[in-house]
């Protein structure tokens, strides 16, 4: 292993990115410091932002005593995602401060907020498997506090679904990690040796929970809806990418051709891209709509990832593409979410700048020429060119349709948000953080070396046209749909698949014959219902084992049984 | 005899002597009793510190007292004994502080602290026993000294629990005695030997050795709470909280688990045990225990019962790691000896605090507790998350090595067991945390102790400090696992020696 000796300032920035939010979170323990900490909490992401701008790629610090030897630093993937992550957390922090109610729940909220932020930075900067796992777990668990913040029924239900999926993801990740090839004592991120199919499946599912992979996407719509706007911005903008980064880190991408996995990812991605839009279009709540849009966009990113299995030789190119796409999506999604929050607060009521400002991220997701979306679409397209011709033909046909679908969904979003816009009661104003966000979102792609190739390619006349027509088509289709009275179409309940699954589960529990029902209070409700029915048996078993005679008999029996087994 | 040969004896005496003196004190001599307690605990802590340093530098510490011809009382400090002795000493120190605070104003304190000290003496004896005979003597002593602590409250429920405890442990001890006596006729004095001592007898006594192994594991399995021999443990939760801490983390179940480790590694030798084929059934039994304990914990409302079943489940991680064999899994099992101790004692301290401060015994009464007792609840949360195995807490490191060790040996089913156990742990611990942190308080607390009103602390400082320290350790040993002074570092050392690497 090469030893790295980074200079003082980069090292300090890397450490502060992770530790400053942690320090601020622990400062909340002091009642006297609470209001001050809440005031400065958006700045907690500042070291991360500086880190992404000033620290060169390849800066690493080794922390030999941490966990089983940790390493933090920036490689291509980390530095690509760090910028958008830091910006999103800053905006989320500003939004959280705007809506703070200055009560005791606020302290709890900001504690979880800062912990989740630290987890997010930590996992982006982690360069070894266990550190990644550590910060991923920190972020996942802390996010629970953000989701249930409102404590209403919807929030608690969303929290329940979320935490179940988090535990599911955690154990899948644990199992995957012990199966991945590598040394136990200092697990590296560099996978050498063959990864088993089971491990690949587990990695896909474990991070799919975060990244909205079908069918473990069900918590996404619920949690986007349940939390405050700030939580939504962070979830949609930054934390979604944690799942993506997990795939990039742990899947054996670009190593050898695994056609089977490539095709599975490709199909899953394509399906998700259209499924997300289809379900999203029926939604009345713009937050839920954005969740489905995320599921759909993530599908497109999975298509790029499948290139790592299908054409491993050109994987570096595809990885750059997926990073560009992820950064673009995260900023656009964050801006769209922030837009909803601003309209709910009423500060921007009737403001023209707000209305037209929303057009920017919405159309950018659709891939309008000159936006970051057009560049991201270009990157996607260039990846598809590395696929075998048989697949290419299909994708050339389907991807523009996906762009049309996405644009349709965004128009639907705009119509929902705009129609909720109230008449101004007082003089409305636009927070400057929103403007900064929009400007960055529009401009960053043109100054980003990683996106250079795609950016210039997207400006060629042919490409401009390719990017333009889906948007125009979608806009005209929307007019038609609207004429049909789209609003009357049935709304698919948020969490789609979850609804029948929960219903079947309860049915199944009802089939178990009923017994006396004592008051169990620790187990989760559904599990409890099942166990309650087995209770008398359960009790009898325990009582029996405490019986004195049982002691004698069990010794004899056990000696016999073990003896037979040992033979 | 040089000073090194006195060292193990001194360590024993540092709790034996104060214990015996305390028996003679009257109830009123509170200051003297406390001084003796704390002095004993502190001296032991210092001596163990010296011992660890010495063992690390390769010194040999051995005390030998002849009992019968060819039979010695032998105290010997190797790396493995220091692991257990160190854990017990540190936790005993904290438990003593806790017990003084907990029993403030209750009756029969001299009796309690007397047996308390004897109990720790026995535990240290077990950890430093140099042969099977010495081990057995201290093992039985532990049974006898713990009984008065279990029945300390003298209620009919406590007496019943005590009876069950005795029935289980005495008969388990008897079986162990038989096995040891039998083995002695085959293999002589049974010194604990790194890499084992029985492989030379494998040819002639195969069936005998297998039977003896089964008898020993069952005898030890009672204290280690292997299903179906665990039933005494949940009953014993009627004892006061410091005793529960002693039973679950410091002494009793640990003695059983430690005994299994000794038998597998230092009597049979892990490679020989593998060859005999006795480890696979042990692994199955451990796996069954892990799942069964968690399932029972899932349906408990009484907090201490829940924790007791959680112990049943978690202690078997140690046996599981031992039984999977292979250095990596061994590290996982051995390090869990320490990690489980730290986490479980934290949880029991906290449960004791809830009961003593607010009269809370049931999970259903814990709504909103995080607001009333944030520090205790924070410590509890760390312990609980550690049990689930969330990184970077202690439990995660154990789980990581167990899982990796299983995969190294190609035993996928062990990973499945670990995954199931994690899910079940989450299913019974997370709802507790949810109640305490996210639900509002419902009505007044069951029995709020008024003397604490007006205090700036949420509870008596002697009750608050120990769980905070152990919670910090739970975090520390996981977060800094790779530092040389962590339990993991020490366990790696043991493992290299056991496998002769």
Domain count, chain B: 1
Q: Residue A514: pLDDT band by 50, 70, 90 thresholds?
A: very low
Q: Quick one: three-class SS letters along A483-503?
A: HCCHHHCCCCCCCCCHHHHHH
Containing B73, the helix (H) or strand (E) segment is strand B71-77
- Domain assignment present for residue B48? The answer is no
Q: What is the pLDDT along chain B (501 residues), one digit of tens a residue?
A: 466 778 888 888 988 998 899 888 888 888 888 888 899 899 999 999 999 888 888 888 888 888 877 778 888 888 889 999 999 999 999 999 999 988 887 888 888 899 999 999 999 999 999 889 999 999 999 999 999 999 988 888 889 888 888 888 888 998 999 999 899 888 888 888 888 888 888 788 888 899 899 999 999 999 999 988 888 888 888 888 888 888 888 889 999 999 999 999 999 988 899 888 899 999 999 999 999 999 888 888 889 999 999 999 999 999 999 998 888 899 999 999 999 999 999 999 999 999 988 889 998 889 989 888 889 999 999 999 999 999 899 999 999 999 999 988 888 999 999 999 999 999 999 999 999 999 888 888 888 776 655 567 788 888 899 999 999 999 999 999 888 788 998 898 888 887 776
- Domain assignment present for residue B152? The answer is no
Instruction: Tell me how far apart the 2 most distant CA atoms of chain B are, in Å.
Output: 73
- Domain assignment present for residue B71? The answer is no
What is residue A71's three-state secondary structure? Answer: strand
Alpha helices for B25-155 (secondary structure H): 30-56, 79-102, 109-128, 132-150
A335-394, pLDDT tens digit by residue? Answer: 999 988 888 877 776 677 888 888 899 999 988 888 888 888 888 888 888 888 888 888
- Domain assignment present for residue B136? The answer is no
Window 213-272 of B: residues touching A by CB (8 A cutoff) are 213-215, 217-218, 228-232, 234-235
Best to test chain A binding among B430, B440, B475 (most A CBs inside 10 Å): B430
What is residue B27's three-state secondary structure? Answer: coil
- Domain assignment present for residue B172? The answer is no
ipTM of the shown complex: 0.91
- Domain assignment present for residue B326? The answer is yes
Residue-wise burial string across B229-253, b where 16 or more C-beta atoms lie within 10 A, e elsewhere: bbbbbbbbbbbbbbbbbbbbbbbbb
Containing B68, the helix (H) or strand (E) segment is strand B61-68
Query: Going by C-beta distance under 8 Å and a sequence separation of 6 or more, which residues neighbour residue A267?
Result: none
Residues of A in contact with B207 (CB under 8 A): 567
CB pairs under 8 A between A and B: 160
- Is there a contact between A1 and A11 (Cβ–Cβ < 8 Å)? no
- Domain assignment present for residue B470? The answer is yes
Burial class (CB in 10 A: 0-12, 13-18, 19+), A553: exposed
A387 touches chain B (CB under 8 A): no
Would you state the pLDDT for residue B255? 93
What distance in Å separates residue A562's CA from the closest CA in chain B?
6
A450-495, pLDDT tens digit by residue? Answer: 888 888 888 888 888 888 888 888 888 888 877 776 767 777 888 7
**Rg of the Cα atoms in chain A:** 25
Residue of A nearest to B404 (CA): A178
- The whole domain housing B427 covers 278-501
* Helix pair angle (A286-310, A240-250), 10° resolution: 10
- Domain assignment present for residue B291? The answer is yes
Window 271-300 of B: residues touching A by CB (8 A cutoff) are 276-278, 280-281, 284, 295-300
């Amino acid at each position: 292993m090469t030893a790295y000796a980074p200079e003082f300032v980069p090292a300090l920035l890397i450490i502060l990115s992770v530790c400053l939010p942690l320090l601020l979170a622990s400062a909340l323990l002091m009642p006297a410091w609470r209001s001050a900490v809440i005031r400065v909490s958006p700045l907690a992401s500042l070291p991360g932002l500086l880190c992404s701008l000033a620290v060169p790629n390849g800066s690493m610090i080794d922390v030999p005593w941490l966990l089983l030897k940790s390493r933090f630093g920036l490689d291509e993937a980390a530095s690509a995602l760090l910028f958008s992550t830091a910006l999103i957390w800053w905006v989320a922090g500003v939004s959280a401060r705007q809506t703070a109610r200055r009560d005791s729940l606020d302290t709890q909220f900001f504690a979880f907020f800062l912990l989740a932020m630290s987890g997010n930075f930590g996992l982006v900067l982690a360069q070894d498997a266990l550190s990644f796992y550590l910060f991923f777990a920190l972020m996942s668990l802390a996010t629970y506090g953000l989701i249930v913040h409102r404590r209403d029924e919807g929030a608690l239900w969303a929290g329940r679904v979320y935490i179940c999926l988090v535990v599911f993801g955690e154990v899948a990740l644990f199992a995957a990690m012990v199966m991945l090839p590598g040394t136990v004592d200092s697990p590296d991120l560099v996978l050498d040796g063959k990864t088993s199919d089971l491990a690949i499946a587990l990695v896909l599912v474990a991070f799919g929970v975060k990244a909205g992979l079908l069918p473990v996407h069900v918590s996404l719509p619920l949690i986007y809806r349940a939390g405050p706007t700030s939580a939504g911005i962070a979830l949609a903008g930054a934390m979604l990418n944690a799942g993506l980064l997990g795939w990039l880190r742990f899947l054996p991408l670009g190593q050898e051709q695994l056609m089977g996995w490539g095709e599975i990812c490709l199909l899953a991605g394509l399906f998700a891209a259209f499924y997300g839009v289809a379900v999203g279009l029926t939604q009345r709540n713009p937050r839920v709509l954005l969740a489905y849009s995320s599921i759909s966009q993530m599908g497109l990113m999975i298509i790029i990832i499948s290139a790592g299995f299908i054409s491993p030789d050109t994987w570096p190119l595809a990885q750059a593409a997926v990073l560009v796409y992820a950064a673009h999506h995260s900023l656009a999604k964050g801006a769209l979410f922030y837009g909803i929050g601003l309209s709910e607060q009423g500060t921007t009521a009737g403001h023209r700048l707000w209305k037209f400002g929303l057009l920017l991220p919405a159309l950018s997701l659709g891939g309008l020429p000159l936006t970051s979306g057009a560049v991201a679409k270009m990157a996607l397209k260039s990846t598809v060119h590395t696929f075998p011709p048989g697949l290419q033909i299909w994708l050339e046909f389907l991807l523009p349709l996906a762009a049309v679908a996405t644009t349709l969904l965004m128009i639907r979003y705009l119509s929902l948000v705009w129609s909720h816009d109230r008449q101004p009661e007082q003089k409305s104003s636009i927070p400057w953080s929103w403007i900064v966000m929009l400007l960055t979102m529009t401009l960053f792609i043109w100054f980003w070396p990683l996106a250079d190739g795609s950016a210039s390619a997207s400006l060629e006349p042919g490409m401009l046209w390719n990017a333009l027509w889906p948007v125009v088509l979608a806009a005209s289709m929307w007019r038609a749909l609207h004429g049909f009275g789209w609003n009357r179409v049935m709304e698919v309940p948020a969490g789609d698949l979850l609804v029948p699954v929960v219903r079947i589960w309860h049915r199944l529990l009802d089939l178990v014959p009923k017994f006396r029902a004592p008051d169990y209070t620790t187990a989760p409700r559904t599990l409890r219902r099942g166990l309650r029915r087995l209770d008398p048996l359960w009790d009898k078993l325990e009582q029996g084992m405490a019986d004195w005679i049982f002691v004698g008999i069990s010794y004899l029996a056990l000696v016999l049984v073990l003896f037979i087994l040992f033979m | 005899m040089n000073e090194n040969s006195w060292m193990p004896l001194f360590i024993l005496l540092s709790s034996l002597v104060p214990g015996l003196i305390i028996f003679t004190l009257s109830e009123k001599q509170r200051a003297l009793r406390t001084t003796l307690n704390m002095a004993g605990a502190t001296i032991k802590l210092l001596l163990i510190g010296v011992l660890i340093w010495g063992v690390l530098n390769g010194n040999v510490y051995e005390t030998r007292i002849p009992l019968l011809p060819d039979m010695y009382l032998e105290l010997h400090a190797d790396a493995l004994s220091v692991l257990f002795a160190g854990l017990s000493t540190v936790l005993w120190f904290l438990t003593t502080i806790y017990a003084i605070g907990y029993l403030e104003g209750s009756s029969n304190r001299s009796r309690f602290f007397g047996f308390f000290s004897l109990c720790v003496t026995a535990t240290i004896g077990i950890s430093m026993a140099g042969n099977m005979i010495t081990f057995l003597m201290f093992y039985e002593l532990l049974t006898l000294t713990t009984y008065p602590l279990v029945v300390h409250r003298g209620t009919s429920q406590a007496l019943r629990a005590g009876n069950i405890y005795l029935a289980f442990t005495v008969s388990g001890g008897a079986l162990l005695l038989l096995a040891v006596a039998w083995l002695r006729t085959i293999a002589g004095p049974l010194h604990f030997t790194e890499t084992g001592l029985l492989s030379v007898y494998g040819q002639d006594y195969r069936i005998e050795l297998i039977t003896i192994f089964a008898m020993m594991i069952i005898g030890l399995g009672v204290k280690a709470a292997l299903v179906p021999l665990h039933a005494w443990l949940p009953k014993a939760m009627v004892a006061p909280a410091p005793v529960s801490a002693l039973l679950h983390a410091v002494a009793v179940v640990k003695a059983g688990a430690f005994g299994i480790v000794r038998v597998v590694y230092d009597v049979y030798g892990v490679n020989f045990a593998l060859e005999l084929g006795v480890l696979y059934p042990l692994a199955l039994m451990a796996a069954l225990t892990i799942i069964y304990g968690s399932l029972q914990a899932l349906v408990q409302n009484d907090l201490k019962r829940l924790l007791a079943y959680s112990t049943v489940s978690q202690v078997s991680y140690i046996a599981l790691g031992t039984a999977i064999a292979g250095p990596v899994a061994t590290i996982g099992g051995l390090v869990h000896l320490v990690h489980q101790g730290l986490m479980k004692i934290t949880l029991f301290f906290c449960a004791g605090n809830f009961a003593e401060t607010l009269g809370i015994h049931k999970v259903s009464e814990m709504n909103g507790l995080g607001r009333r007792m944030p520090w205790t609840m924070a410590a509890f949360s760390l312990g609980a998350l550690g049990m689930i195995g969330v990184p970077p807490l202690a439990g995660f490191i154990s789980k990581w090595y167990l899982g990796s060790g299983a995969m190294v040996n190609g035993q996928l089913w062990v990973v499945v067991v670990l995954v199931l156990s994690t899910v079940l742990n989450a299913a019974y611990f997370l709802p507790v945390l949810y109640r305490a942190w996210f639900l509002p308080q419902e009505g007044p607390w069951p029995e709020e102790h008024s003397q604490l009103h007006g205090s700036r602390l949420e509870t008596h400082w002697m009750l608050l400090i120990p769980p905070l320290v152990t919670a910090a350790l739970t975090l520390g040993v996981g977060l800094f696992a790779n530092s040389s002074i962590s339990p993991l570092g020490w366990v790696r050392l043991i493992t290299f020696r056991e496998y002769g690497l």
